[in-house]
Structure 1
């Protein structure tokens, strides 16, 4: 078992979901500087849905991608700069090429867990640009370990230098994580990682389980700042990993300082497991749907919990926000 764990911090990307993608320039600069001071190896920034994700459908960002990347690059010297890339939101000519030019170091190229094929062009473009490319499989609870391995192998063949599975809905329990990570670690020749959400209160223990099964990459956000009930809480993750004898290269006191600063400067309330977040996890629905589901429930006078369970039955995924309105209308009609 490797004793070195590579931490990626998507506070300034996943956390954008929690504030309607409205993080400002001061927030990006302040947190990048704090993460850099703490020795965080990789800092991921951007709209909650990644490069090119700003839109009326999923939420318009306060800053454009270029502004975000410029600010982050100016405040990160030792920490590597990462970006989340979902083909469909992100185009090669308009978005990827500019991000390469703006100095992004790590491109985390993501797809729904059964649709790795859509990442091929983006992955190969990044590798040809001599940049680091990771494959990200989102909503990983929706595929068996065997199917996840098939999809991960596709990404590996496209040039992915690591594979990270995301528990995007916070729906997985320990045995779910154990089976998925072990299958990937045994079936791939590249590093494997895990990105947790806390809808069922399992983010930290699932992350540690992933490491115990051979994962060497973990995601965590400061104070858990992220979609739904939030992500694996970074400063707690670092403390627990150190207690278990793992190396992260992160200074515990300085990451605790970053946590105190972030709660004030990023203008957020630390995530909790609300009733809606819990139902989202139980239904297996993307955590980022919490706010639009709440709005639709008010507009149509229906129970948001019923919306989530109906979305779960339809196997809704990120990018299908219009389905929320459709479900709310049907629930109102049927009532």
Structure 2
């Protein structure tokens, strides 16, 4: 069977679940535990990546440099590499250079699924700095397998050393993942990435389908820590991969201890699939909108399920949070 690199996004994507408020002791405790388990890459930062701390999408408790330096030091005794996430428009070239100075090893540049052209300059900077450059496509259910493959191929021309897709809304079924990953694998000669969310309780199944279709880098978070229904559960993923005969290089008992640290130190409780997160997955809307949708819906007396359905119809994506209030007002006026 294949070798799978597990990319741990607990300290970055998990931040969405706590409004980006993880502190230094929390970052340190989990990073030490993940490193002890031999997790290949530990990603850290504001939930939306470098430079994203803002009024629009939420201020992080800590600045980027503090987060990176804390986790870099915590990983020093092991072999885990330090990863960061960058969305052009929030993260800049200066942010990438500061991350490099803090010891980042792997830099993910993310773009909407049909807009990989915006990653070109950022990927070039990452390569110039001698770091590993990766490109991922967000909200990937919003276009075809053929288009995703073409976007990923273009990313490799820009310098990406690994490419892939994020199921940002938790919308996929395994057959959807297989079709897209197979298309991407056929179009590029670099490792292929898959990042799942659990709105339809498919994150682990989708991740396994991705591996069987040829993906070799899979993202996950301890206890599924993340927005809404959460991400692929890291410890479950690794257990399933091992049972399926795939190698990860991770010590599973130690990883279970790391998951316990995440449960006890990072979150009030693991993410759950509720009516709202299920509705957001079906609608193909990023479930990180959940808190704002609930607040606005309750204030206006509007059904949040209707709000997610309308957001999906409008194909709203992360960064367009202001449209939530507009949708709520329009539904209120129509009622």
> Shorter chain as normaliser: what TM range?
over 0.9
Q: Which residue of 2 aligns with 1:100?
A: 100
Q: Which residue of 2 aligns with 1:268?
A: 268
Match runs of 1:1-335 below 5 Å: 3-77=2-76, 78-93=79-94, 95-335=95-335
State the Cα RMSD in Å.
0.9
Partners in 1 of 2:273 and 2:35 — Cα distance? Answer: 29
Shift of 1:52: 0.7
Shift of 1:164: 2.1
SS of the residue corresponding to residue 11 of structure 1 reads strand
Q: Provide TM-score, normalisation by structure 2.
A: 0.98
Shift of 1:268: 2.7
Partners in 1 of 2:40 and 2:265 — Cα distance? Answer: 21
Partners in 1 of 2:285 and 2:275 — Cα distance? Answer: 14
Partners in 1 of 2:244 and 2:173 — Cα distance? Answer: 21
Partners in 2 of 1:331 and 1:135 — Cα distance? Answer: 37
Asked if the contact 2:124–2:158 (Cα under 8 Å) also holds between the matched residues in 1, the reply is yes
Partners in 2 of 1:270 and 1:90 — Cα distance? Answer: 29
Deviations along 1:11-36, one digit per CA (max 9) or x if unpaired, are 01111001111111111000000000
Partners in 1 of 2:263 and 2:247 — Cα distance? Answer: 26
Partners in 2 of 1:300 and 1:68 — Cα distance? Answer: 37
Shift of 1:65: 0.6
Partners in 2 of 1:162 and 1:29 — Cα distance? Answer: 28
Deviations along 1:188-243, one digit per CA (max 9) or x if unpaired, are 11110110000001101000000111111101110000112011100011111111
Partners in 2 of 1:89 and 1:30 — Cα distance? Answer: 28
Partners in 2 of 1:28 and 1:13 — Cα distance? Answer: 10
SS of the residue corresponding to residue 11 of structure 2 reads helix
Give unmatched runs, 5+ long, in structure 1: none
Partners in 2 of 1:105 and 1:268 — Cα distance? Answer: 31
Where does structure 1 differ by over 4 angstroms across 4 or more consecutive aligned residues? none
Shift of 1:144: 0.2
Give unmatched runs, 5+ long, in structure 2: none
Partners in 2 of 1:308 and 1:68 — Cα distance? Answer: 33
